[in-house]
Amino acid sequence: MDNEQITINLTPEEALVLSDWLERVQMTDLSRLVDDEAVWAPIHRLAGTLDKSLSGIFAADYAERLDGARRRLRPSSDDDAGEGDSSG
Protein backbone atom coordinates (compact mmCIF):
# COMPACT_ATOMS: atom_id res chain seq x y z
CA MET A 1 0.00 0.00 0.00
CA ASP A 2 2.92 2.38 0.62
CA ASN A 3 3.87 2.29 -3.07
CA GLU A 4 0.43 3.15 -4.39
CA GLN A 5 0.10 6.42 -6.28
CA ILE A 6 -2.90 8.71 -6.52
CA THR A 7 -3.64 10.16 -9.95
CA ILE A 8 -5.60 13.36 -10.38
CA ASN A 9 -6.81 14.31 -13.85
CA LEU A 10 -7.27 17.98 -14.65
CA THR A 11 -8.10 19.78 -17.85
CA PRO A 12 -5.36 22.14 -19.05
CA GLU A 13 -7.46 25.12 -17.91
CA GLU A 14 -8.04 23.61 -14.46
CA ALA A 15 -4.31 22.92 -14.16
CA LEU A 16 -3.45 26.48 -15.22
CA VAL A 17 -5.79 28.09 -12.70
CA LEU A 18 -4.73 25.72 -9.91
CA SER A 19 -1.05 26.27 -10.67
CA ASP A 20 -1.47 30.04 -10.44
CA TRP A 21 -3.36 29.77 -7.14
CA LEU A 22 -0.78 27.40 -5.65
CA GLU A 23 2.00 29.78 -6.69
CA ARG A 24 0.26 32.65 -4.91
CA VAL A 25 -0.36 30.48 -1.83
CA GLN A 26 3.30 29.51 -1.68
CA MET A 27 4.31 33.18 -1.82
CA THR A 28 2.28 33.90 1.33
CA ASP A 29 3.07 32.86 4.84
CA LEU A 30 1.95 29.22 4.58
CA SER A 31 1.89 28.84 8.34
CA ARG A 32 -1.09 31.21 8.46
CA LEU A 33 -2.97 29.14 5.89
CA VAL A 34 -1.76 25.61 6.60
CA ASP A 35 -1.83 24.55 10.23
CA ASP A 36 -0.03 21.22 9.71
CA GLU A 37 3.50 21.25 8.30
CA ALA A 38 2.92 17.77 6.87
CA VAL A 39 0.66 19.37 4.24
CA TRP A 40 3.45 21.55 2.85
CA ALA A 41 5.29 18.71 1.10
CA PRO A 42 2.29 17.65 -1.02
CA ILE A 43 1.48 21.29 -1.78
CA HIS A 44 5.00 21.89 -3.09
CA ARG A 45 5.01 18.60 -4.99
CA LEU A 46 1.68 19.35 -6.67
CA ALA A 47 2.79 22.87 -7.59
CA GLY A 48 6.06 21.58 -9.00
CA THR A 49 4.33 18.89 -11.04
CA LEU A 50 1.93 21.45 -12.50
CA ASP A 51 4.74 23.85 -13.33
CA LYS A 52 6.63 21.12 -15.21
CA SER A 53 3.49 20.08 -17.10
CA LEU A 54 2.32 23.54 -18.14
CA SER A 55 4.55 25.04 -20.81
CA GLY A 56 2.08 27.93 -21.12
CA ILE A 57 3.13 29.45 -17.80
CA PHE A 58 6.14 30.93 -19.59
CA ALA A 59 4.19 32.18 -22.62
CA ALA A 60 4.06 35.91 -23.37
CA ASP A 61 0.25 35.76 -23.26
CA TYR A 62 0.12 33.89 -19.92
CA ALA A 63 -2.06 36.53 -18.22
CA GLU A 64 -4.61 36.41 -21.03
CA ARG A 65 -4.66 32.61 -21.00
CA LEU A 66 -5.13 32.58 -17.24
CA ASP A 67 -7.93 35.16 -17.35
CA GLY A 68 -9.72 33.20 -20.08
CA ALA A 69 -9.39 29.93 -18.18
CA ARG A 70 -10.73 31.55 -15.01
CA ARG A 71 -13.74 32.96 -16.88
CA ARG A 72 -14.55 29.61 -18.46
CA LEU A 73 -14.22 27.70 -15.20
CA ARG A 74 -16.43 30.00 -13.16
CA PRO A 75 -20.06 28.92 -12.97
CA SER A 76 -22.22 31.12 -15.14
CA SER A 77 -24.89 33.13 -13.34
CA ASP A 78 -27.69 31.49 -15.36
CA ASP A 79 -26.42 27.91 -14.83
CA ASP A 80 -28.80 26.24 -12.38
CA ALA A 81 -26.76 23.03 -12.27
CA GLY A 82 -23.71 24.80 -10.87
CA GLU A 83 -21.43 23.69 -13.69
CA GLY A 84 -19.17 25.93 -15.76
CA ASP A 85 -20.23 27.55 -19.01
CA SER A 86 -19.79 25.06 -21.82
CA SER A 87 -20.93 27.35 -24.61
CA GLY A 88 -17.22 27.87 -25.52
pLDDT tens column, 27-38: 887 667 778 888
Domain extent listing, the chain: 12-73
Any idea how long the chain is?
Answer: 88
Separation of alpha carbons 5 and 16, rounded Å: 22
pLDDT digits (tens, 9 = 90+) for 39-61: 888 988 999 999 899 988 889 99
The string of pLDDT tens digits covering residues 11-22 is 999 999 999 998
Print burial letters for 71-82: b (CB count within 10 Å at least 16), e (below 16).
ebeeeeeeeeee
